[in-house]
Structure 1
Amino acid sequence: MKLKSTLYWASTLLVVLVFTATGILNLMGNNHILTDILHLGFPTYIMKILGFWKVGAAISILLPKTVRLKEWAYAGMLFDLSGAAFSRMSIGDPAQMIIIPLLIMGLVVISWISRPESKSGFSIVPKI
């Protein structure tokens, strides 16, 4: 039980850090992220939309007693990260640029799988 709790908090805090930092940088119009957005062929206004939802998702998975909201936040994170990996793959970016969002996606999945029952509204394994 201690390992599960440690996995949950370590992965969740890393995910929150990544999504909060990148979300804020998106909202601020960071030049590095702007260059990436243009490189991927997206319009610049997508930065503000992604920034808003990334920060919102990061906050949501930390809020107590918001099980349904957490499920949506985790789903949104997976959509964002799988979309990032696929977008990079589609334009022929190097493997490391595709692997980075997939590794972060792995942290999101670890956080979701290891979350305590009090933060869970859905489980892959049925309760008996």
Structure 2
Amino acid sequence: MKSSRGAVIGFWMATVLFALQMGFTAYAQLRLPQVAESFAHLGFPGYFRVELSWAKFAGLVAILVPIVPPRLKEWAYAGFAITLISALIAHLAVGDGVAAWGWSVGTGVLWAGSYVCYRRLDSQQSPG
């Protein structure tokens, strides 16, 4: 079955916004000292920040490149979900306010939009 044009546009709009947000956070985690301080405030070691940044970049490649197999895309989306939920929990655990944890919630909304559209497109393209 052929995907509708609206579904494809919806997927790319949601996914590009999500990718921009995650790409910016990955870059910020590698380059901005205030982000490194935030990770320390949350109790994470410095190497985790670097590792998480590169994992985000790899996940973005997986969801943005059309030839990546669907199973790998699913794993990338799962990794992003775990990351966003963990960020929310970490901020709440140290008593941060909405200014700190709101970013993970907002990015989670973008994640959900991208993932729901991805699943719709995948189900339209899959036989059966």
TM-score of the pair, normalised by structure 1: 0.83
Which is bigger in relative contact order (C-alpha 8 A, separation at least 6)?
Answer: 2
1:117 aligns with 2:122: yes
User: CA separation of 1:31/1:120 partners in 2, compared to 1, >3 Å: closer, same or farther?
Assistant: farther
CA contact (8 A) 1:65 1:119 kept: no
Q: Return the alpha-carbon distance in structure 2 between the equivalents of residues 25 and 99 of structure 1.
A: 17
- Same amino acid, percent of matched pairs: 27
Instruction: Give the secondary structure class of the aligned counterpart of 2:105.
Output: helix
1:10 aligns with 2:7: no
Across the aligned residues of Structure 1 and Structure 2, the Cα RMSD in angstroms comes to 2.2
Instruction: Give the secondary structure class of the aligned counterpart of 2:112.
Output: helix
Shift of 1:2: 4.2
TM-score of the pair, normalised by structure 2: 0.83
1:32 maps to which of 31, 34, 51:
34
Unaligned segments of structure 1, at least 5 residues: 122-126
Unaligned segments of structure 2, at least 5 residues: none
Q: Return the alpha-carbon distance in structure 2 between the equivalents of residues 119 and 51 of structure 1.
A: 32
The residue that corresponds to 1:97 in the other structure is: 100
Q: Return the alpha-carbon distance in structure 2 between the equivalents of residues 80 and 43 of structure 1.
A: 16
Deviates more, 1:9-18 or 1:111-120: 111-120
Instruction: Give the secondary structure class of the aligned counterpart of 2:46.
Output: coil
Shift of 1:88: 0.3
Q: For residues 16-55 of structure 1, what are the alpha-carbon distances to aligned partners after superposition, in whole Å with 9 as ceiling and x for unaligned?
A: 1122222223234x20210110111111111111111011
CA contact (8 A) 1:61 1:73 kept: yes
The residue that corresponds to 1:47 in the other structure is: 49
- The equivalences for 1:77-92 within 5 A come to 77-92=80-95
